[in-house]
Structure 1
């Protein structure tokens, strides 16, 4: 069992993470774009990025530890349970578009609260045109 300061990650995103990502992306993109992005996410290799950098690139606020979803993930970390990797859409430095955490924002925050330098497995793909 892991110590309370070690975040364990699964090898692959949970299958329900893809529809959750699509649901979020529906606020930002067309159905056709979402289909392309989700298909690409399913094929993208896993890379590892630090919790602090994922938050910075996404321009998202660190959620508090008492956020119900962050709290749930912190409990999983403490119990040594594996978290599902993050699904993300790459931002664009030239236009100032932030990276989108399509699924896993709460897991990133819980990981940050545990150790901001945690290497988080991420599937990241470019936005479609």
Structure 2
């Protein structure tokens, strides 16, 4: 079954991204980065590449949130696009999945080559 996507992230996704990013950076950088995510044009990236760039493990389908997203996928419901903050390969800093880790995993479990609509920005300062 193909994964279907909403045209744009939901408002609460940006709040979730801000909560997560606040663990990594000061509030000024977080606020500017989330503002950039809201304005960023959509890009498409493969599930397998997102996980690799972020250095994240694939969560199993037994994970409650992944299972819920798989249920949405099998029911033909649309998922919200992923919010990403670019890492720095020169410094060994990984990509940050600011919001959507479970959706990436569910998409990967459906098809690792799934094209995922994302908002991708660099850290703003």
Question: TM over 0.5, yes or no?
Answer: yes
TM-score band, normalised by the shorter chain?
Answer: over 0.9
CA-CA distance at 1:86 after TM superposition: 0.2
Please report how far the alpha carbon of residue 114 of structure 1 lies from its aligned counterpart in structure 2 after TM superposition: 0.2
* 1:57-107 Cα deviation digits (max 9, x unpaired): 000000000000000000000000000000010010100100000000000
- Residue 2 (structure 2) aligned to one of 6, 10, 23: 6
Q: Select the residue among 65, 72, 76 that pairs with 1:76.
A: 72
2:58 equivalent to 1:62:
yes
Task: Give TM-score scaled by structure 2 length.
Answer: 0.99
Shift of residue 128, structure 1, vs aligned partner: 2.5
Whole-Å Cα distance in 1 between the matches of residues 118 and 54 of structure 2? 13
SS of alignment partner, residue 97 of structure 1: coil
Q: Which residue is 2:15 aligned to?
A: 19
SS of residue matched to 2:17: helix
Q: Which residue of 2 aligns with 1:95?
A: 91
Task: Give a deviation string over 1:17-43, Cα, whole Å, max 9, x none.
Answer: 000000000100100001000100000
2:115 matched to 1:119?
yes
Q: What count of residue pairs does the alignment treat as equivalent?
A: 125
Counterpart in the other structure of 1:42:
38
CA RMSD of aligned residues (A): 0.6
When normalised by structure 1's length, the TM-score is 0.96
Deviating above 3 A after TM superposition, structure 1's stretches of 4 or more consecutive aligned residues are none
* 2-structure distance, mates of 1:93, 1:127: 14
